[in-house]
Structure 1
Amino acid sequence: MPTSCYGCGATLRIDGPIGRRTTCPHCDADLHACMNCRHYDEAAAHQCREPHADHVVEKESSNACELFQLGDGASRRRLGRSDAARSALAALFGEAPRPTEDPKDALEALFRKK
């Protein structure tokens, strides 16, 4: 069954079960992780639609969940989506891309004494 990695978005063709230590051949990310599981759902309790699953805190790291089933991890990727969308919109209207602002700098500017 073709699927994709949450870490890099690469298409994976894996037959058989995914072991706990199995990693992506492209980016070396853990595949047996919540973010690659078909039961992962941000809107569900503990971000899992499987009611009998153990609570896992680190969703991107390998875990020992016995209910894991490989799903489409790339559909959950958020890395740079908003920046890419803003850049595409700016390019559409002929504007220069906005520089990304570090949240820490914004926080320090907010509380800086005048």
Structure 2
Amino acid sequence: MDSEASGNCWHCNQPLQALDYRRESTCPACNRHTHVCKNCRFYTPGRHNDCLEPIAEQVTEKERANFCDYFEPADREAATTTAASAEALLDAAEDLFK
């Protein structure tokens, strides 16, 4: 990873640099661990282990630093844009039936 911004904190949305995702690193703004399931692009509540990676070891504490080798920072901006688009489509569909 390079030192450019590569994601945001799962808790406070503070922009993070690549070096902020080391095993014991914490967010400079809220001091929460950053190498955690909730900050990973594979984190998907409701899936087995809440993870899209099928062979990742189970991590029970989703907000604590872990040793997962599959960790990749989540792109929260893209996820927010996708959620906003989905909500806009739902609103448009509901308007059709008013």
Quickly name the TM-score band, shorter chain normalised.
Answer: 0.5 to 0.7
The reply to whether residue 25 of structure 1 matches residue 6 of structure 2 is no
- Inter-CA distance 58–31: structure 2 relative to 1 (3 Å threshold): same
- Partners in 1 of 2:19 and 2:14 — Cα distance? 18
TM-score scaled by length of structure 2 = 0.66
The correspondence for 2:44, drawn from 36, 41, 56, is: 41
Cα–Cα, structure 1 residues 18 and 11, in superposed 2: closer, same or farther, change >3 Å?
closer
- Separation of aligned partners in 2, 1:37 and 1:73: 10
Partners of 1:21 and 1:73 in 2: CA distance: 21
The structure-2 alpha-carbon separation of the partners of 1:31 and 1:17, relative to structure 1 and needing over 3 Å to count, comes to: closer
Give the percent of matched residue pairs that are identical in Structure 1 and Structure 2.
35
Q: Which has the higher contact order (CA 8 A, sep 6+)?
A: 1
For 2:8, the equivalent position in structure 1 comes to 4
Name which one, 1 or 2, has greater alpha-carbon Rg.
1
Distance 2:62 2:22 in 1: 16
| CA RMSD of superposed structures (Å) | 2.3
**Equivalent residue number for residue 50 of structure 1:** 53
What are the superposed Cα offsets for residues 25-76 of structure 1, whole Å, 9 maximum, x if unpaired? Answer: 1111100000000000013111000011000000011011111111146869
Which residue identity lines up with residue 23 of structure 1 in the other structure?
Answer: T
